[in-house]
Amino acid sequence: MERLEIPGYQIKGVLGKGAMSTVYLAVQRSLNRPVALKVLAPKLVGDSTFHKRFIKEGLIVAKLTHPNIVTIYDIDNYKDYYYMAMEHLEARTLKDRIQDGLTPEQAKTYLCQIARALGYAHQNNCIHRDIKPANILFRDKETAVLSDFGIAKNLEDKTQLTAVGWRVGTPNYMSPEQALGQPLDARCDLYSLGILFYEMLTGKRPYQGRDAMETALMHVQAPLPELPQSLDHFQPIINRLLEKRPKARCSSAEELLNLIETVKPKPQSTAFSIKHWLPWVIATVVLIAVVIAHSWLNQR
């Protein structure tokens, strides 16, 4: 296998590999800084559709300067290599953190951060179309960063880089209109974010069919998922984001953020509080009684 060499970069190793590209850890020599170097798979270079889409991704993200969106440093091609240099972020993704388990407060924090990123992208006429845990990275441990705009769409761009009717996105997080191959707008990202939020809260996806087709059909036909009782104060958010009809969903990320502000955790019931503290009260009373008895015996 030919060793990868790209002028201006020292390749250190592989960070990840997918069907369309490989991401390398590299050092940008001019600034002596680590970068994630995304390189289009050589087998796709001969197809202009793929390298045009690759370049389009870089140009889209380069225009988006936001603390919750990955930063692009450079995009170019050298010989048969199309590459994109991005900021190097923590290797573990939101997918890893979900597997470890998140608190409801962490899930809410990440929801807000991703919503702000999407709101900014949408204001700049860009829809992501592939929101999923593997595409959420982290900066400074607790700052969620949206990445991989490989199938993003500039709403002002009328060119067609995907076949008519081709369903973009990942079936597990796909909006009903994506599953049906219908025209998309920013609300498809908000639907996917709703699926992601449900998964952050519960550790599992709401719709899981036996295959991709059945899963996509569930997004179109299955009823809205219900959260466990302990989390049901978040149900209004899930309901608004996962509406089958785009018109019934939150119309924007800003509307979603306003909705999140209105959701407060349920106060603990009196019965729960008594049940929770009763063992400690009994233990304290017993301890005091023992101390008093011991003191009385010593005084005799």
Which residues are designated catalytic?
A: 130
Annotated binding residue at 38? yes
C-alpha to C-alpha distance for 266 and 269, rounded to whole angstroms: 9
Phi, psi of 79 (to 5 degrees): 55, -120
Going 39 to 42 to 161 to 17, the CA torsion angle's sign is negative
Phi, psi of 178 (to 5 degrees): -65, -45
List Cβ neighbours of 20 (8 Å cut-off, separation of 6 or more).
Answer: 40, 41, 44, 50, 54, 150
Find the radius of gyration of the CA atoms of the chain.
25
Long-range contacts of the stretch 23-30 (C-beta < 8 A, 24+): 25/88, 26/85, 28/73, 28/74, 28/85
Q: Calculate helix-pair angle for 253-262, 104-123, nearest 10 degrees.
A: 150
SS3 64: coil
Q: CA angle, 199 as apex, 90 and 229 as ends, to 5°?
A: 135
SS3 164: coil
**Would you say 73 and 85 are in contact if contact means Cβ atoms under 8 Å apart?**
yes
Instruction: Give, for 272, the enclosing helix (H) or strand (E).
Output: helix 270-299
Residues at the binding site are: 38
Residues at the binding site for ATP are: 38
